[in-house]
């Protein structure tokens, strides 16, 4: 957890011609979001997809099945506003709130030749299927 952004940064530095995309949950993103400063400082364009459900998803899922919906320390509702955070690090920001717009949004996300943060809002009550 927290590895995808630094790994993507390293992959991009290893092959600057390749498009690199990091995919992470909102909890994982918060563990390594300081690497956005590194991306900006060294002008390394990496695309990031954040799956945001305002929970530590894996831990919450485990607690759901093991403790019958008794949750402890999994709420991330105090997370930073990514729409404000992305431009602070020189990144373009996109938000996907509805799957009806997914194809268009992903097309826009992939077409950019710069660092882009795509925040995908996930229903907090959804479980892995």
Q: What is the CATH number of the domain that holds 38?
A: 3.40.50.970
What is the distance between the alpha carbons of residues 40 and 63, in angstroms, rounded to a whole number? 37
Mean pLDDT of 35-52: 97
Assigned domain for 81 exists: yes
- Cα-to-chain-centroid distance, residue 25: 5
Residue 15 is predicted with a pLDDT of 97
Assigned domain for 128 exists: no
Q: Domain of 71?
A: 4-121
* Stated length of the chain: 129
Residue 8 is predicted with a pLDDT of 98
Contact 50, 117 (CB under 8 A): yes
Mean pLDDT of 12-31: 94
CB atoms within 10 A of CB 22: 23
Mean pLDDT of 115-124: 92
Residue 88: which pLDDT band, with cuts at 50, 70 and 90? very high
Instruction: Indicate the number of domains in the chain.
Output: 1
Residue 124: which pLDDT band, with cuts at 50, 70 and 90? confident
What are the beta bridge partners of residue 75?
Answer: 55
């Amino acid at each position: 957890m927290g590895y995808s952004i630094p790994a993507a940064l390293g992959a991009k530095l290893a092959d600057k011609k390749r498009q690199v995309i990091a995919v992470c949950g909102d909890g994982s993103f918060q563990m390594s979001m300081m690497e956005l400063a590194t991306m900006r400082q060294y002008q390394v364009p990496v695309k990031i997809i954040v799956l945001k459900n305002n929970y530590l998803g894996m831990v919450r899922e485990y607690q759901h099945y093991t403790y019958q919906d008794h949750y402890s320390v999994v709420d991330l509702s105090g997370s930073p506003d990514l729409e404000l955070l992305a431009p602070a690090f020189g990144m373009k920001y996109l938000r996907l709130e509805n799957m009806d717009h997914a194809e268009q949004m992903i097309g826009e996300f992939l077409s950019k030749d710069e660092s882009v943060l795509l925040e995908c809002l996930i229903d907090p009550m959804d479980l892995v299927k």
